[in-house]
Amino acid sequence: MISENVKNILSTLPQGVLLEAAAKTRTSHEVDQAISAGISIIGENYLQEAEQVIPAVKGRVPVHFIGHLQTRKVKKALELFDMIETVDSIKLAREINKRAAAIDRPMPVLIEINSGREPQKYGVLPEDAEEFLMSFEQMPFVKVQGLMTMGPFTEDTEKARPYFTETARLFKLFSKKNIPWITMRYLSMGMSGTYSVAVEEGANIVRIGTRIFGPRT
C-alpha cells in the first residue's frame, strides 16, 4: 500500500517538487518502504522517534526535522538531521549557530512562517519575517535555505490557499532582495489534504504523512 501511495502521489507532482514523507509514529519498516518507492526526504517530528528510524535510512535520503525544536535539544538534532525546517525564534537560531560552530558543521534550515497568525502556533509572523532574516548575518553556521509554513488546519483546500499564497509572496520577495547570507531555495508547504493547492502556489517540498502511510493507529 505504501509503495502504491507514493507512486500515485509522485505521478501528480510537477518536476522539481520534492515529496517528503512525514514519518511521525511510523516504523522503520514503513519508512523503508516509502524510500524504496521513491520519496525524496524523510520528515520527523520528534527526536526520540527519529533516533529509532534514522539508523535504517541515513545516507539513503535526507532526513529533516519538521516539529517544534527546543533549544536544549539542538545538539542532538544536529547529530541526527540534515535540515531543520522549523526555525522560529532568534533564541533557537543562536543555539543552532553555537552548536554547529562547535562541530564545524553549518546547518541548513528553513524559517517557519506563522502564515495564519495563530497565537497558539509557533513561527515567525509574516510582517516580522524580513527583520528576522536580517539577524542571520551574524550567524554564519546557520544556512537559511527557504521558508516553511503549516497554515491553519482545514479540510477545505481552498481555505488553505491564502496562507500558502502569503508564504510564497515572502519567498519571492526575499529571493529578489538577494540577501547575501540567505538562499531562497526551498518552499515547504502543504500536507496530505492540501498539498495540491500548495504546489499550485509554488511549494517545492510537500510534507505528506497519512496519504502515504494511511491513518495512524
Q: Which CATH class is domain 2-213?
A: alpha beta
∠154-83-33 over CA atoms, to 5°?
70
pLDDT at 216: 73
d(CA 5, CA 11): 10
pTM assigned to the model: 0.95
Give residues with Cβ within 8 angstroms of 67, minimum separation 6: 24, 44, 45, 46, 86
Structural domain spans, the chain:
2-213
d(CA 146, CA 127): 16
Q: Is 212 helix (H, G, I), strand (E, B) or coil?
A: helix
Per-residue pLDDT of the chain (217 residues; tens, 9 = 90+): 999 999 999 999 999 999 999 999 999 999 999 999 999 999 999 999 999 888 888 789 999 999 999 999 999 999 999 999 999 999 999 999 999 999 999 999 999 999 999 999 999 999 999 999 999 999 999 999 999 999 888 778 899 999 999 999 999 999 999 999 999 999 999 999 999 999 999 999 999 999 999 987 6
- Residue 165 burial class via C-beta count within 10 angstroms: exposed 0-12, middle 13-18, buried 19 and up: middle
With beta carbons less than 8 A apart as the criterion, state whether 138 and 125 touch: no
Q: To which residue does cell 538534532 refer? A: 77
Strands (E), the chain: 18-22, 41-44, 63-65, 83-87, 107-113, 142-149, 182-188, 205-208
For 215, phi then psi, to 5°, come to -60, 145
Among 156, 78, 89, which residue's Cα sits nearest to residue 121?
89
Take residue 1 and report the three cell numbers written for it. 500500500
Percent helix, percent strand, percent coil in the chain, to nearest 5: 45, 20, 35
